[in-house]
């Protein structure tokens, strides 16, 4: 049983952004500051990656720990109410994510997932970005 009305829950869920989230903006500023230029949310690629580096054939996804089930992360909890719905929904998200990464790989693209919780550790995130973007795709 939900503790809020269906109308209020609908408004709450509609307010959750999928693009230009705080962690995504942080990654974008960091990568731009490192001198890399990118395209955003390319719909012609599987999963519409958050950041796309066409010349490097690399793509970055910035995933929310809750929505994409970051393994071992405390933000990837399962809500107590309507548990079956959430388990099915979140498991479908992880299956879709795996399909998208596999499809990008099949097209010759290298992918990186940056988790929401990683955005709070800028030095570590900088190293991760530099390593990913500096390596030669071929």
Cα separation of 26 and 122, whole Å? Answer: 9
Give how many domains the chain has, as a whole number: 1
Read out DSSP for 19-69?
A: SS-HHHHHHHHHHHHTT---EE--TTSTT--SEEETTTTEEEEEE-HHHHT
Show pLDDT as tens, one digit a residue, over the chain (138 residues).
667 687 876 676 666 666 778 899 999 999 999 999 999 999 999 999 999 999 999 999 999 999 899 999 999 888 888 889 999 999 999 999 999 999 999 999 999 999 999 999 999 999 999 999 996 655
Q: Containing domain of residue 102, as a range? A: 17-133
Say if 4 falls within a structural domain. Answer: no
* 67 located within any domain: yes
In a domain, 88, yes or no: yes
Q: Is residue 7 part of a domain?
A: no
pLDDT for residue 56: 95
Does 6 map to a domain? Answer: no
Domain contains 116:
yes
Residue 5: inside a domain, yes or no? no
Q: Domain holding 101: CATH number?
A: 3.40.960.10
pLDDT of residue 5: 81
């Amino acid at each position: 049983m939900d503790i809020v009305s269906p109308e209020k829950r609908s408004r709450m869920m509609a307010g959750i952004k999928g693009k230009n989230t705080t962690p995504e903006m942080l990654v974008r500023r960091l990568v731009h500051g490192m001198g890399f230029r990118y395209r955003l949310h390319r719909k012609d690629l599987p999963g519409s990656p958050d950041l796309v580096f066409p010349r490097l054939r690399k793509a970055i996804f910035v995933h929310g720990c809750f929505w994409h089930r970051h393994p071992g992360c405390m933000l990837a909890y399962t809500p107590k109410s309507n548990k079956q719905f959430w388990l099915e929904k979140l498991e479908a998200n992880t299956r879709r994510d795996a399909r998208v990464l596999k499809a990008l790989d099949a097209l010759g693209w290298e992918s990186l997932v940056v988790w929401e919780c990683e955005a709070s550790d800028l030095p570590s995130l900088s190293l991760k970005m530099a390593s990913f973007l500096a390596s030669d795709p071929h």
